[in-house]
Amino acid sequence: MIGKLLKRRTRTGEDGSIVVEGARKATGGKGKARIAMTMAVFFGIFSVISGRLVYLGFQTPDLSGGPQSRVTASRPDIVDRNGEVLATDIKTASLFAEPRRIVDADEAIEKLSTVLPEIDYEQTYHKLKSGAGFVWLQRQLTPKQQADIMQLGIPGFGFRTEKRRFYPSGETSSYIVGLTNIDNQGISGMEKYVDEQGLSDLQASGLAVAKDLKPVKLSIDLRVQHVVRDEIAAGLERYRAIGAGAVVLNVKTGEVVAMASVPDFDPNNPYNAQEKDRLNRMSAGLYEMGSTFKSFTSAMALDSGKATMASRFDASHPIRVGHQAIHDFHGKNRVLSLPEVFLYSSNIGSAREAELVGIEGHREFLHRLGILDRMQTELPEVARPTEPKIWKQVNSFTIAFGHGVSTTPLQAAVGCAALMNGGYLIEPTFLVRSEQDAMAVAKKVVGEKTVEGMRYLYSLNAEKGSARNARVPGYRVGGKTGTAEKVINGRYSKDLNFNTFVAAFPMDDPQYLVFTIADAPHPEKPGMTDVAAANAGVMAGNIIRRTAAMLGVKPDFSHENGATLVSYQ
């Protein structure tokens, strides 16, 4: 059978060779099969590639190294007590590059530098040559910068819309409102506080939607804040000080109505915010308060029940403790009544008051008023006060007139407010708070008789003593000065002071308290003094003069400070 088949499928070629036709046909069939198989393989490969491309076309691009969701997450507006915007989100463009698409890195940087001359050439070159899928080149461009870069037409460059923080009031409330970083996260001030209350969690979960975020209303009155900042900035220059600050406190609610410290910074361009002298001196600075502390010493003596307005203290000669001696700056060299100790700011008399109460009683009283404990409030930048580990008699004596312990000006103001508002210690707040809510958290620290006595002493000092520069007709201002030798490298300076002034008004029923500081001031003119009455006191008076009406305090010219003195004369 096979032989017949071969015979049938063979023939003689022209050259005499035998050709097997059946074999040729068989070989041709196998070639076609191989071709078909190869085509099927290529078709399969292209089908997989095409399917993958279609799939990727419907996916969100993988911007490796690009912005996370929190970068463009919204933040709530921050407004003052009257609804004036202090911080808000605005849209801005940020420039990115896709290095894999960059043809000529040098040419791209050369073109980009015509719009952004400050760009770092070496750093940008490494980014563009990294081969990454995404790199940031410049965040938060101005609209003009974006338009100019677009006109350059650089392949591989693109823009992404982000949110950045804008502060309409600029430097005016910088230390209170605070800052956000490049990713719109709060890093200081109330911006940081807002994040700590849950905003950062909302942003991480993608739930921080602008329309759902209610504004955060602060206790700050932007009008008063502007005046405070204006006055201390003028004082900084006028007295050639290294720093100045002030706070306006509602003594009934504990609300901080205004607080500022200079030098400060512009939160819209915070290039200098980290400089050494850019410190919120009011809440984050620790200082010896000097004679302002005598407010607490006299109040302590009265509240202990061991002294009255009729009590007398021997200030006829210095007090000697070991090798140290306590003197009066302008001594009367005689026995003084308690009001005279306050009026003449007698160091000797204040030491005698502390001696009357005792070391433990003295320390307990200052802690009771919160002067030596870390203050609890929303603002993150709060320093912890310092005190001696062991109080000795000499410590109690010097602390009585404001040397030997350090606290923040804001804490000193809060402690003084308790001596004016009926005897209640109310932790300060930067959020709106009603008087009813304030009393729910208030702590009674001194008695009514003590408050009555301290109001009298403040009024007396404004009428006859060092607080006269802060008097404002019609507003019945009272207060106390404090001039302390500035501590430099652990030693007291004989040339530089840290000056403070506390003022309350109206003294028949105090509503507000103003506390001002002047750090290392100089005499305004040759022949003038550099004590607190000549600088911190003047700033306080100017602030009250310009803001009392804004605060809703009506002037009353029917009686002045002297009318409040009747019950003790």
| 347-357 helix and 294-303 helix, angle to the nearest 10 degrees | 40
Q: How far apart are CA 158 and CA 244, in angstroms?
A: 46
Look at residue 249 in the predicted model and tell me its pLDDT.
98
Is residue 569 pLDDT above 60, yes or no? no
pLDDT tens digit sequence for 516-558: 999 999 999 888 889 999 999 999 999 999 999 999 999 988 7
Is residue 112 pLDDT above 50, yes or no? yes
Q: What's the chain's length in residues?
A: 569
User: Taking the C-alpha atoms of 537, 540, 542 and 547 in order, what is their torsion angle to the nearest 10 degrees?
Assistant: -160
Look at residue 213 in the predicted model and tell me its pLDDT.
79
Look at residue 68 in the predicted model and tell me its pLDDT.
42
Taking CA atoms, 195 is separated from 178, 188, 201, 383, 513, in Å, by 12, 10, 8, 20, 30
pLDDT tens digit sequence for 154-211: 999 999 888 889 999 999 999 999 999 988 899 999 999 999 987 766 555 555 556 5
Active-site hit among 173, 174, 219, 291: 291
By DSSP bridging, strand 78-79 and strand 216-217 are: parallel
Say which residue, 28 or 60, is predicted with more confidence. 28
Is residue 271 pLDDT above 80, yes or no? yes
Taking CA atoms, 241 is separated from 198, 255, 412, 515, 535, in Å, by 40, 28, 21, 17, 10
How many other C-beta atoms are found inside a 10 Å radius of the C-beta of residue 6? 13
Look at residue 564 in the predicted model and tell me its pLDDT.
46
Pick from 395, 242, 430: nearest CA to 324: 395
Look at residue 54 in the predicted model and tell me its pLDDT.
58
Q: What's the rounded mean pLDDT across residues 241-246? A: 98
Q: How far apart are CA 402 and CA 499, in angstroms?
A: 11
If you average pLDDT over every residue of the chain, what do you get? 88
Look at residue 74 in the predicted model and tell me its pLDDT.
79
Confidence of residue 17 (pLDDT cuts 50, 70, 90): low
Q: How far apart are CA 101 and CA 128, in angstroms?
A: 9
Q: How far apart are CA 538 and CA 519, in angstroms?
A: 14
Look at residue 4 in the predicted model and tell me its pLDDT.
44
Say which residue, 399 or 9, is predicted with more confidence. 399
pLDDT tens digit sequence for 306-329: 999 999 999 999 999 888 899 998
Is residue 131 pLDDT above 80, yes or no? yes
Confidence of residue 32 (pLDDT cuts 50, 70, 90): confident
User: Taking the C-alpha atoms of 39, 40, 45 and 50 in order, what is their torsion angle to the nearest 10 degrees?
Assistant: 90
Q: How far apart are CA 335 and CA 344, in angstroms?
A: 12
Look at residue 132 in the predicted model and tell me its pLDDT.
87
Q: What is the value of pTM for the model shown? A: 0.81
Q: Is 291 a catalytic residue?
A: yes
Look at residue 69 in the predicted model and tell me its pLDDT.
35
Q: How far apart are CA 218 and CA 255, in angstroms?
A: 9
Q: Which 3-state string (H, E, C) describes 107-121? A: HHHHHHCCCCCCCCH
Both tokens assigned to 219: 């206790």
Q: Which 3-state string (H, E, C) describes 548-560? A: CCCCCCCCCCCCC
Both tokens assigned to 191: 């911006």
Confidence of residue 23 (pLDDT cuts 50, 70, 90): very low
Look at residue 57 in the predicted model and tell me its pLDDT.
56
- Contact in structure between 281 and 261 (CB atoms under 8 Å): yes
Q: How far apart are CA 132 and CA 506, in angstroms?
A: 67
Pick from 313, 389, 400: nearest CA to 365: 400
Pick from 512, 516, 514, 509: nearest CA to 556: 509
By DSSP bridging, strand 512-519 and strand 243-250 are: antiparallel
Is residue 13 pLDDT above 60, yes or no? no
Is residue 559 pLDDT above 90, yes or no? no
Confidence of residue 31 (pLDDT cuts 50, 70, 90): low
The helix (run of H) or strand (run of E) holding residue 309 is: none
Question: DSSP string spanning 517-542?
Answer: EEES---SSTT---SGGGTHHHHHHH
Q: How far apart are CA 502 and CA 409, in angstroms?
A: 10
pLDDT tens digit sequence for 361-418: 999 999 999 999 999 999 999 999 999 999 999 999 999 999 999 999 999 999 999 9
Taking CA atoms, 187 is separated from 22, 61, 94, 215, 484, in Å, by 88, 31, 21, 18, 34
The helix (run of H) or strand (run of E) holding residue 150 is: helix 143-152
* % of the chain at pLDDT higher than 90: 69
- Contact in structure between 89 and 164 (CB atoms under 8 Å): yes
Look at residue 33 in the predicted model and tell me its pLDDT.
73
User: Taking the C-alpha atoms of 526, 531, 535 and 541 in order, what is their torsion angle to the nearest 10 degrees?
Assistant: -130
381-386, long-range: CB < 8 A, 24+ apart:
381/175, 381/188, 381/189, 381/280, 381/283, 381/284, 382/283, 382/284, 382/408, 382/410, 383/283, 383/284, 383/285, 383/286, 383/408, 385/286, 385/411, 386/286
* % of the chain at pLDDT higher than 70: 85
- Ranked by mean pLDDT, which of 148-157, 481-490, 497-506 comes out on top? 497-506
Confidence of residue 472 (pLDDT cuts 50, 70, 90): very high
Look at residue 151 in the predicted model and tell me its pLDDT.
92
Confidence of residue 52 (pLDDT cuts 50, 70, 90): low
Q: How far apart are CA 60 and CA 145, in angstroms?
A: 27
Q: What are the backbone dihedrals phi and psi of residue 196, each rounded to the nearest 5 degrees, phi first?
A: -70, -15
Look at residue 476 in the predicted model and tell me its pLDDT.
94
Look at residue 211 in the predicted model and tell me its pLDDT.
59
For the chain, how many helices (H) and strands (E)?
A: 18, 20
Lowest mean pLDDT among 61-65, 192-196, 278-282, 459-463: 61-65
Helices (H), 289-434: 294-303, 338-343, 347-357, 359-368, 393-400, 409-418
Is residue 73 pLDDT above 80, yes or no? no
Confidence of residue 26 (pLDDT cuts 50, 70, 90): very low
Confidence of residue 562 (pLDDT cuts 50, 70, 90): very low
Look at residue 552 in the predicted model and tell me its pLDDT.
96
Q: How far apart are CA 297 and CA 145, in angstroms?
A: 61
Confidence of residue 339 (pLDDT cuts 50, 70, 90): very high
pLDDT tens digit sequence for 420-461: 999 999 999 999 999 999 999 999 999 999 999 999 999 999
Is residue 67 pLDDT above 80, yes or no? no
Find the angle CA(547)-CA(549)-CA(554) to the nearest 5 degrees: 135
Q: What's the rounded mean pLDDT across residues 295-303? A: 98
